[in-house]
Structures are given as C-alpha cells and as structure tokens.
Amino acid sequence: MYPEESITESPLQQANSKHLLDYIRVLQKRKWLVLTVAAIIFLTTALATFSKTPLYTATIQVLVEKNMEKGRLEGLASYITWDPDFKATQFELIRSFNVALRIVNNQHLDTEYKQYFLGSSSHLRGFDSIIQPVISFFSSLFDSTQKQDQGDAQTTSDAGTKSDAEKIAGMIQEALTLTPVPDTKIVEVNYTHEVPKIAQLVANGIVRAYIEETLDIKTSTTTHSLNWMTIKADEERKKLEDSERALQKYMRKNDIVTVENKLAVLPERLSQFSSELSVAQTEEKKHAAVYRQIRSAGKNTKKLEAIPLLSNNSELQDIRAEIFAAEQNIRELSKRYGEKHPMMIKARADQRLLQKKKRTEIDRVIEVAKNSYELAKTRVKDLTKMMEQTKAEMLNMNERFVQYTILNRDKEMNRTVYDALSSSIKKINVTAQAMDIRIWAVKNADLPLLPSKPDKKKELLLGLVLGLAAGMSLVFFLDYIDNTVSAGEDLEKRYGLTVLGAVEDLPRKNKNIETFIIDNPLSAFTESYRLIRSSVLLSTPDHPPRTLLITSMMQQEGKSTTTKNLAYILSQNDKKVLIMDCDMRRPRQHSMFEVDNSYGLSNYLSGNTDEQEPTMIKQMPDSLISVLPSGPIPPNPAELLGSKRMKTLLAQSVERFDFVLLDSPPVQQVTDSLLLAGLVEGTITVLRSGKTTFDMLDSGMKKLRESQAHLLGFVLNRVTKRNAGQGYYGYYSYYSRKGKGGYYTEQKKS
C-alpha cells in the first residue's frame, strides 16, 4: 500500500488533539521573540514610570447637604430634600474657577508659594520640557490665525495677559477631583501636587473658599430680589387703594348692597337646576333605550328575556330556575312513565303555570319600564322650564352687577399681588442670613507622606502584561502568515505521507555539512540519517526499495547533500551503493566526491559509447559507495533521462549494487524528476524547514502523483529548534547530550 493511501485521522480527531498543543508549540518556537518584545515594552514602561515626577494627593472630606432649618424658616411644611441635580451642581461649584481663585487669594498662593506653581522646575520636567515649547508654538500659531479670521484681537490679548492668581487658579481647577462616598452626603475632595505641603494647603482651603462663594452668590441674589420687590410692592399698594375707592363709590350709587344676597341665591339655584336636569336627561336616555329594546322585541319572549332589565330581574331569575327544575323533573319522569300518567300530567301542568307566571312577570316589568320612561320625560320638561325662568331673572340682575364684578375683581387682584410681595419681603428678611446648603469639613487633609502617582507596581505589572500580550500576539500573527513547512506533523496530516526523518540545521561555524557525518559518527546529525535509513528500509513490503529518487521542490533545499549522506549511512551495513547524478543542469555530486565530470551519465545516455555499462562509474576509496557523475551538460536532459538506455542502465545497476540513489533536479523547475519517478521503486522528497512553502509543495506533490511516483515520504532538512515540533527536536536534544558525554569526550581523550 502506498503511504498516501494510508488511513489518516478524521478532521474531528485532528481538531480535538490539536489546538492547545499547537499554540504551545508556536510559543516555544518563538519564545525569544515573545521575551524580547515583552522586555522592550516592560523596560519602556519602567523607564517612563521612573522618569515621572512623584505627585502627592491630599484629601479632605466635606459634608454637603440641603439646609433643613432654612425650609422651616420659610414656613414650608415639608422641605423637599430629594433633588437629582443637587450634588452635581455643588460638585461643579467646588470645581469652579471662582472657588479656585478664592483658594489662591485666601492661601496667598500667588505671592508666598508662587514658585511652586509658576517656577520652571515645577512643571517642565522630563518630556514636558521638550513638548511644552512645541505646544506653545502651535497655540500661538492658532491664536494668530483666529485673530486674522475673526478679528478678535481683544480676546487674544486678554488670554495672554492673565494674572498669576488666575494662572494658578486654572492649574488648581484642573488638579481637583471629587469622589462621592457611597450612601452618604460626604464627598472627598482630592488635590494633587508635586509638593506634599502645597497639596495639603490647597485641600484644606477648599471648604472656606466654597462657603465664601456660596454666601456671595446667596447675598447677591437676595439683595437684587429685595430691591425689586420693594419697588414693586409700593406700586401695587397704590393700585389697591385706588381700586377699593372706585368699588365703594359704585356700590353706593347703584345700591348694590341690598341685592347682594339675591345675586348669591340665583346662581346657586341655576346650578342646582342644571345638575338636576343633567341627571334627569341621563335617566330619560336610559329609560328610552330600555323602552326601545322592549318595543323592538315585541311579543318575542326570548328577545325580551335577553334585555338586561329582564335578564337581571331577580323574580324572573327565580321563575326561570323553577321552570328549569320542572323541565328536569319532566325528563326524569318521562324515563319511568308515559305521557298520560298522572305524575306526567301534573308535571306538565306545573310547567305551564310557571310559563304563564313568567309571562305575567315580563308584562309587569315592561309596564314599569314604560311608566318610568314617561315620568323621566315629564321631569326633563319641568326642569328645563324652571331653568329658563331662572336665567331670565339672572340676566336682569347681572346687567346691574357687571360693573360691580369688574371693580371687585380688580380690587382682589391688586390685594393678592400686594399681599404676596409683602409676604415675600418678610420671608427674605428673615432668611437672608440662612444658607441653602450646609457645608462642613468632616476630616481635614493630612500631609501626604507617600506619592499617589505614579503607581509603580501597577504600571510595571501592566507593562509586563502588555509586553507579554503584545509578544504573543506578534508570534501568533507571524505564525498565521507563515506558510512554510516547519513541523512533520503538519506534513503527515496534510498529505498522508510519512516523514522519514528530520535533519537538524548545523551551525556553519567550523563544520562542513558534506563531511560532518564521517567526522562525527555519533552525533545527533548522523543519528537523524540512521533514522531515515531505517524508515526507508521499512517503507515497502516484501523488500526494501533498491532504486531511490531523491528530489526537492526548489533549489538549495539539500537534496544533493541528503543523497550523499544517505548513501554513506546505507553503505555502513556492507551494502554497495551507487549514486547517479541525474541533475544534468546543476550537477553537484562530482564536486562533493571530488571526481572528474568530463565524462559521465550524459555521454552514456546520448549513445556516445558502445559499452553495455558506463565505465565512468567511480568507486570511492575505502568505501562501498560508487558515483556516476552527470557528465557534460546536454541540450536535452529530459529526453535523455526518459530514454530506454536510462531504463537499461537502472536494470544493470540494480544487478551490481544493493542500492541506487538518483540525485534529480527540483520538481517545480523542470520535468526531469517526473520522468525518473516512474522508473524507480521509491521517491523521497527533501524539504527545507522554514523555507519550502505549502503552496509550492501542493503543486509539486500534485505533479508527482500525476506521474505515478511511488512516494515514500519526506525528509525535513535543516530543522532548527525554533521551527521543529517538540517531538522531533526532543530526539536531537537527547542525542546531543549523549554525544557530548560520549563521542566528543572520546575525541578529546584521543
């Protein structure tokens, strides 16, 4: 069975046994890149953290609540305490520029402590000394542009001529932060500065400045209100006096006092008649609707009983219940007696009596409904007539009372306005000194002993976490875009072929890869070729493949070196091995074995000799390896390699040698290897780890399979610890340690 036909794991099995180990393998392959990125970010974070100027934060706890005493002074029964905007408003007031300016003036920050705010060493440190001039340049450029576009020269001039107190107030305003204490009316006010004493001084001055600003706002508002209301009250008092005199004069002239009681009675009577008429009309409509339903039903008992007035009648309900019981009794009796039985006759008689009783009751209810309707109509007519009479009487009276009402309304309106103003003036005078809010320093600010910023542990830990995350992200991204062959597991799962072996990448320093296995027979590098030999010998049933084609996808993947080293390993078991250099375009075997290439395989295949076997096969001294060089480069290598003479040569070589290895050109560049693949018992594909791409390999494997090549598997060449899977490189690590303790020690002793 061909290796590519072997049963592989299902996609589900691959997915279940893959993901976590693959991620770990990716991190192991590029762990130094992860550590490098993490170290760079961590060191950058550490440098930035330790270069920052330490800042100290002083905190004062302030109680802020509405003044309940003020509400009682104003005569409010329940002073409203819930205000969703109260806290936000007070917090903004504490952070306001005016409060900050009061702190500066109260604490003399613009005179005694000016150097801590406006000194060059206090705010231009580290990177700020570089950035600040740039910001100033662009700010001035922007200001000049605004001046040209808008002509606002005065605004620009004012912004550039701020006093020291205003500048310091702006700095304090930016550095203030507020944090409400949950479930309380207390707020923590924090101020941060480079000097601990300044931070404490500013924090403790906040409450005083806040109270002063609140009182100033309150006083200004109260004074303005009092002045306006006093002037307005004098005007309203004069209006009230004039309206009272005019009303009295009109009442005396028209004798309004004698008819005042009648004016009060008539509207009350009209209102009563109107209410009663509304009720009567409602009753009339209700009775009319019932009466229409009765007339519409006519003599139809079922329709009459469906009318709510009849269906809800308690007596009819009782009669219907008796009728239902009688009918049920008849049904029970009919099961035992005939229609002429005395019991049945009596039951039928009782049923008829009940039906007659029900009809009588229905007629009675209908008659009552009709009478009620007629009575309601009569009452509506009577009430309508009485209302008309009352209205006529009121019209006569109102003609004399209209002017009285106008004058009285003016008087009452003026009195209401005057009383309201007088009451407000009294309340303001009483509560002028009472604040709307209560402000109290619950806990003054202590001198901060430790800096609040930067939090070095937190920032360093964050830098380390970000560094590791960035490093791992970069590694996973590089692995995602990496389409090269690196691990044997991927090859086996993708193509269903065995990885015959993996050869480590030897350091170039003082090591010749072409002679390394001869010079170091116990090294891990040599052991990898022994593993390849074992895999090749066990790759086919019945007998090992004797003719092997060794090819690659592209140049410089190590097929020629692999051919030579594999030949050396095969010859160690007293096997004669022939190497045919079939790469007639870029031959290398003659240079590696240091033999003459002026006469070789191309001469034999082109028919330039009459000998049955090529005499140019060179036996290597002290070795069972023979080499057939490629010979001069012909113009048509593919035709020569696909000729009958090539088949004959292979057949003859198998009779003389135990193994015949064909070093062929790369699959992707020429068709030589595809022609030779059908002539040999097995084909080995050499891949360079980290260099050969899967796209290139997919195309090459398709060509080999189409040429009916017997694919034995892959040799993964120049594997590094970074590119190899854990399983493959564990082999090297084991034998490297063994070599260091065994072979190399023996070399040193000898």
Q: Full-prediction pTM beyond 0.85?
A: no
The single-letter DSSP state of residue 132 is: H
Per-residue DSSP letters for 420-451? Answer: HHHHHHHHHHHHTT--SEEEEEEEPPPPP-S-
Strands 618-619 and 682-688: unpaired
Is 186 strand, coil or helix?
strand
610 confidence band (pLDDT: 50, 70, 90): low
Alpha-carbon distance of 576 to 182, in angstroms, equals 91
Residue 381 sits in the same domain as residue 465:
no
Query: Is 79 inside a domain boundary?
Result: no
Lowest mean pLDDT among 59-63, 286-290, 465-469: 286-290
Q: What is the pLDDT of residue 78?
A: 43
Q: What is the pLDDT of residue 141?
A: 47
Residue 469 sits in the same domain as residue 495:
no
The single-letter DSSP state of residue 4 is: G
Could you read off the pLDDT of 358-378 as tens digits, one per residue?
A: 788 788 888 887 788 888 888
Q: Is the dihedral of CA 82, 85, 88, 92 positive or negative?
A: negative
Residue 157 sits in the same domain as residue 293:
no
- The predicted model gives 339-351 an average pLDDT of 84
Could you read off the pLDDT of 150-193 as tens digits, one per residue?
A: 444 444 444 457 888 888 888 988 888 888 888 888 888 898 88
Residue 466 sits in the same domain as residue 492:
no
284 is in which domain, residue-wise?
260-431
Query: Is 523 inside a domain boundary?
Result: yes
Query: Is 650 inside a domain boundary?
Result: yes
- The predicted model gives 328-344 an average pLDDT of 84
Q: Tell me the β-bridge partners of 176.
A: 191
Q: Is pLDDT at 131 greater than 50 in this prediction? A: no
**What is the chain's mean pLDDT, rounded?**
77
Residue 409 sits in the same domain as residue 469:
no
Alpha-carbon distance of 733 to 740, in angstroms, equals 11
Q: What is the pLDDT of residue 13?
A: 43
For residue 282, the tally of other CB atoms under 10 A from its CB is 12
| Cα separation of the two ends of the chain | 49
Residue 340 phi, psi (nearest 5): -95, 5
Alpha-carbon distance of 489 to 653, in angstroms, equals 36
The verdict on whether omega for the bond into residue 454 sits within 30 degrees of 0, i.e. cis, is yes
Could you read off the pLDDT of 408-448 as tens digits, one per residue?
A: 777 777 778 777 777 766 665 555 455 567 777 888 888 88
Sheet of 186-193: strand order equals 176-180, 186-193, 56-66, 437-443
Could you read off the pLDDT of 240-263 as tens digits, one per residue?
A: 778 777 777 777 776 555 444 455
Lowest mean pLDDT among 17-31, 542-556, 724-738: 724-738
Most distant CA pair in the chain, distance: 163
Could you read off the pLDDT of 452-502 as tens digits, one per residue?
A: 888 888 888 998 899 889 888 888 887 777 778 877 777 888 888 888 988
Q: What is the pLDDT of residue 558?
A: 87
Could you read off the pLDDT of 711-738 as tens digits, one per residue?
A: 999 998 888 766 655 444 444 444 444 4
Residue 30 sits in the same domain as residue 138:
no
69 confidence band (pLDDT: 50, 70, 90): low
Residue 393 sits in the same domain as residue 286:
yes
Where b means 16+ CB within 10 Å and e means fewer, 325-364 reads ebeebbeebeeeeeeeeeebeebeebbeebeeebeebbee
CATH number of the domain that 629 lies in? 3.40.50.300
Q: What is the pLDDT of residue 737?
A: 44
Residue 643 sits in the same domain as residue 564:
yes
Query: Is 651 inside a domain boundary?
Result: yes
Query: Is 215 inside a domain boundary?
Result: no
Number of domains in the chain: 4
304 confidence band (pLDDT: 50, 70, 90): confident
Q: What is the pLDDT of residue 611?
A: 59
Q: What is the pLDDT of residue 323?
A: 82
Q: Is pLDDT at 708 greater than 50 in this prediction? A: yes
Residue 343 sits in the same domain as residue 403:
yes
140 confidence band (pLDDT: 50, 70, 90): low
Who contacts 92 (Cβ-Cβ below 8 Å, separation ≥6)?
none
Q: Is pLDDT at 681 greater than 60 in this prediction? A: yes
Distance of CA 231 to the CA centre of its chain: 63
Residue 616 sits in the same domain as residue 705:
yes
Alpha-carbon distance of 68 to 437, in angstroms, equals 8
Residue type for position 610: D
Q: Is pLDDT at 566 greater than 50 in this prediction? A: yes
Alpha-carbon distance of 216 to 748, in angstroms, equals 96
Query: Is 177 inside a domain boundary?
Result: no
Residue 632 sits in the same domain as residue 560:
yes
582 confidence band (pLDDT: 50, 70, 90): very high
740 confidence band (pLDDT: 50, 70, 90): very low
Query: Is 169 inside a domain boundary?
Result: no
Extended beta strands in 342-450, E state: 437-443
Residue 280 sits in the same domain as residue 300:
yes
Query: Is 369 inside a domain boundary?
Result: yes
